[in-house]
């Protein structure tokens, strides 16, 4: 079983790295890019015997308490069987 | 009175702080390894600058889980003095001992330069020897010093006189042009509600000798030592 956690900056929190990436993308010739936001992606491998609902609860807690800072970031948890 | 300096893997301003306390303030001081949990013999703690855990994940995020941090929280809750400098400020925010967070500088660059901060309040153990409005010339050295918090937190910090230092002109004027990193309200340092925990991005321990370009940082450590001496 695998868990995927996506961490992104909350709307409104300045993302200077995203802005710099957007600028580079535009220099490459792409137009019509309204915004770029940079985030983080984590893969967590779980023992196959783990209960899916329990795994979701555990990974959600890990995402909330370690992987993200709730003051500036949101997270999204996906569990893959 | 005894000072303790907490050392995480990756701390690199620990010896500067030790030097200032032992040589400039003239008080007993010891290093505390991050796996130690006994803080009974200390009256004040300094969480020094550096790159604890290599700044992995977020600056200060992993240091929060070091064994010593539970003891630091209890120490702070019982009124003990905790001073977080630069990475120490980031750790205090991640640990929930101070509100808000420190994110990437507005212009992305690592900034290392002397600049000015205005003392906003003398009502802390760290600034009670200073006059509000006075200006300290102290260096910053960080890539993640952009202080953010929500509107309610900012209003609370302002209302409770908990913004301790703001980036300013040498004249003391606080302007957007003197904001090096995009920090909300030019915030360079804040304290907690009980005023015993202070976090600041500038490095006062690097500004304690004229030979180093400024000795303005000494006032912060001297205020704290005077508070401890009077206690």
CA-based nearest residue to B192, from B149, B166, B160? B160
The more confidently predicted of residues B161 and A48 is B161
DSSP for B20-46, please give it: IIIIII---EEEEETT----TT-SEEE
B191 and B163 in contact (C-beta within 8 Å)? no
Residue B56: predicted pLDDT: 96
Query: Is A14–B65 a contact, with Cβ atoms under 8 angstroms apart?
Result: no
Q: What percent of chain B has pLDDT above 70?
A: 100
User: Is the Cβ of A36 closer than 8 Å to some Cβ of chain B?
Assistant: no
**What is the tens place of the pLDDT at every residue in B90-114?**
999 999 999 999 999 999 999 999 9
Cα B52 from Cα B80, distance rounded (Å): 22
Q: B199 has which bridge partners? A: B84, B190
Phi, psi (deg, nearest 5) at residue B199: -125, 135
Residues of A in contact with B103 (CB under 8 A): 13-14, 72
What pLDDT is attached to residue A81? 78
Q: How far is it, in rounded angstroms, from Cα A7 to Cα A38?
A: 9
Distance in angstroms (rounded) separating the CA atoms of residues B13 and B86? 9
Supply the pTM of this predicted model.
0.95
CA gap B63, B166 in Å, rounded: 26
Residue of A nearest to B62 (CA): A66
Q: Which residue in B101, B105, B108 is closest to A72 by CB distance? A: B101
pLDDT at position B95 is 97
Tokens matching residue B84:
């977080």
Catalytic site residue from B13, B86, B191, B208: B86
Angle at the Cα of B202 from the Cα atoms of B200 and B206, rounded to 5 degrees: 125
């Amino acid at each position: 079983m695998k868990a995927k956690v996506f961490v992104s900056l909350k709307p409104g929190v300045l993302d200077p790295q995203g802005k710099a990436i957007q600028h580079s993308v535009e220099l490459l010739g792409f137009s019509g890019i309204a915004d770029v936001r940079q985030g983080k992606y984590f893969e967590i491998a779980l023992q196959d015997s783990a209960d899916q609902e329990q795994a979701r609860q555990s990974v959600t807690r890990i995402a909330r308490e370690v992987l993200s800072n709730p003051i500036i970031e949101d997270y999204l948890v996906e569990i893959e069987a | 009175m005894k000072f303790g300096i907490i050392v995480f893997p990756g701390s690199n301003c620990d010896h500067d702080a030790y030097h200032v306390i032992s040589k400039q303030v003239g008080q007993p001081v010891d290093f505390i390894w991050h796996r130690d949990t006994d803080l009974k013999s200390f009256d004040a703690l300094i969480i020094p600058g550096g790159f604890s855990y290599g700044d992995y994940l977020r600056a200060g995020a992993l240091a929060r889980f070091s064994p010593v941090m539970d003891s630091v929280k209890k120490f702070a809750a019982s009124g003990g003095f905790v001073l977080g400098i630069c990475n120490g400020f980031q750790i205090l925010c991640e640990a929930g001992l101070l509100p808000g967070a420190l994110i990437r500088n507005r212009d992305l660059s690592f900034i290392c330069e002397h600049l000015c901060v205005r003392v906003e309040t003398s009502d802390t153990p760290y600034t009670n020897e200073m006059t509000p409005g006075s200006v300290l010339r102290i260096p910053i050295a960080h890539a993640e010093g952009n202080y953010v918090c929500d509107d309610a937190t900012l209003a609370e910090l302002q209302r409770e006189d908990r913004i301790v230092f703001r980036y300013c002109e040498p004249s003391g004027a606080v302007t957007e042009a003197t904001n090096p990193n995009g920090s909300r309200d030019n915030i360079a340092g804040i304290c907690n509600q009980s005023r015993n925990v202070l976090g600041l991005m500038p490095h006062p321990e690097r500004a304690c000798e004229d030979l180093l370009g400024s000795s303005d940082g000494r006032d912060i450590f001297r205020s704290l030592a005077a508070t401890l001496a009077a206690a």
